[in-house]
Amino acid sequence: MFKLVWQNLIAHPIRSVLTAASVCIAILLLCLLRSIVTTLDAGIQASSAARLIVMSSVSLFVDMPISYQQRIATVEGVTTIGKWQWFGGVYQDPSNFFAQFAVDPEHMFDMYPECELDQASRERFLATRNGCIIGKQLADKFKWKAGDKIPLTGALFPHPDGGAWDFEVCGVYTSKAANFDDRTMMFQWKYFEETLRAGGQDPGVGVYIFRTAPGANVERIMSEVVAMFANGPMSVRCAPESEFQRMFISMMGDIPMLLGWIGTAVFVALLLGCVNTMLMAGREQIHDVGIFKALGFSNAAAFRILIAQSMILCTLGGIAGIGLTLALKPMIATAIAAMFPVFLVETSTLVLAVVLTIFLGVAAGMIPAWRASRLKPVDALRAGA
């Protein structure tokens, strides 16, 4: 029986290949769209509940005064606080984009235990005025190692001399969690601040990140921080890290919802296409169905023959789509590296792809198979004659 089903499929090779290819592309697209959503979500899930972010209430792109650091540190329950500033430097060419932040190195590793760096490198980072640490993927990409010099042209913060900012690699860190990017460079706040001040500029702070004591009332702390600066000079917003991640993502729009709608639209369009193909196949095989029934095959057997064709086509397409997703994963991860530190194709996404493939196979084959099973043999023989 399998041979019969298979022969019917290869009797129309172009149609079968095109149908399987459309399923393949749709499953690939669904896997990719869902992986982007899960990648975004992974960053949020991995965020620490004990870490809070303070930013300007106007926008993430508006700086806060440096003086805020000491005042926030006085709020009861705040244990460690550090400054972060987006640097936006260019290495040789804008296409070599990677994120750089000026940070307080002394708080960096307490704040982010997920950032792993050996003790010697930490000490070198603290001791080197223009020192920086870089993530492993970044180091691999540019073949950088400890001791290398990285010249960056300051796009947002031009060097007062008019030349490049020179940084020295003190160590290469690895990341233990999805929320901590290992394609980033972090460098000494002191170097950043002193250089700008030497040029007559007054640097601001992009975000303050602080940790709270275990058992601290986070709601109270956030309220106090916001109230502290309510009357200026710059009012702030304070949120847990996960909320901040969500906010950051929502700056690009409601990505999960948008991707969800695109995915649903793709799936529905594909379903209609597959149903149409299977209806055509079913119509062509009505006469054969009549022959099967005349030979003694039951209605259920006629149903199975038609639905098996749909299942095989969709399964082959689905497997190819899943395979292609896994094969393209490294390339996609590289392509979106500027936006997302990792690209996660979760097992749940692959399971969902399998479930959707099976659903597609059953749903597309259901109508022709049901029709075939309901036909009286004499009508089926007459219809195809």
Partner 1 sequence: MTSMIRVRNVTKSYSRGGETLKVLNGLNLDMDEGRFYALMGPSGSGKTTLLNLVGGLDHPDSGELYVAGANLADIDGAELARWRADNVGFVFQGFNLIPVLTARENVELPLTLTGLSRAERRKHSEYALELVGLKDRMDHRPRQLSGGQEQRVAIARAIASDPKVLLADEPTGDLDRKSAEQVLDLLARLNQEFKKTILMVTHDPHAAARAQSIVNLEKGELGRIDHNVPPVAAPVR
Residues in contact with partner 1 by the rule CB under 8 A: 1, 3-4, 7-8, 10-11, 287-288, 290-301, 376-378, 381, 385
User: For the chain, what is the radius of gyration of the CA atoms?
Assistant: 30
AA identity, residue 220: R
DSSP secondary-structure letter at 205?
Answer: B
Nearer to partner 1, 4 or 252 (CB): 4
Smaller CB distance to partner 1: residue 63 or 288? 288
Q: Bridge partners of 212?
A: 78
Q: C-beta of 365: minimal distance to partner 1 in Å? A: 18
Which residue, 106 or 284, has its beta carbon nearer to partner 1? 284
C-alpha triplet 44, 48, 52: angle, nearest 5°: 100
Select 64 or 380, whichever has its Cβ closest to partner 1: 380
CB of 367 to partner 1, least distance (A): 21
- Residue (of 362, 347, 259, 356) closest to 309 by Cα position: 362
| DSSP for 181-239, written as a single string | -SSEEEEEHHHHHHHHHHTT----BSEEEEEE-TT--HHHHHHHHHHHTTTSSS-EEEE
**Closest separation between CB of residue 304 and partner 1, Å?**
12
DSSP 21-79: HHHHHHHHHHHHHHHHHHHHHHHHHTS-TTEEEEEESS-TTS-B-TTHHHHHHTSTTEE
Closest contact distance (angstroms) between CB of 382 and partner 1 is 9
Question: Tokens 């010249």 label which residue?
Answer: 151
**Whole-number Å distance between alpha carbons of 99 and 138:** 10
Q: What is the DSSP letter of 274?
A: H
Measured from the CB atom, is 5 or 29 closer to partner 1? 5
Give the shortest CB-357-to-partner 1 separation in angstroms. 25
Q: Which of 60, 52, 61, 68 is nearest to 229 (CA)?
A: 68
Smallest distance from partner 1 to CB 284, Å: 11
CB of 320 to partner 1, least distance (A): 24
Residue nearer to partner 1 on the CB measure, 309 or 349 = 309
- By three-state DSSP, how is residue 370 classified? helix
Residue 321 C-beta: closest distance to partner 1, Å = 27
Bridge partner list, 311: none
- Rounded Cα distance, 12 and 7, in Å: 9
Burial class of residue 155, CB neighbours in 10 A (0-12, 13-18, 19+): exposed
Shortest distance (Å) from residue 300 CB to partner 1: 7
Residue 22 or 285 having the CB closest to partner 1: 285
Six token digits for residue 269: 């369009």
Contact 373, 286 (CB under 8 A): no
* Smallest gap from residue 371 Cβ to partner 1 (A): 16
Nearer to partner 1, 90 or 291 (CB): 291
- Closer to partner 1 by CB, 145 or 382: give it: 382
Residue 218's H or E segment, with its range, is helix 218-228
Distances (CA, A) of 135 to 185, 210, 354: 7, 22, 35
Of residues 313 and 360, the one with the C-beta less far from partner 1: 313
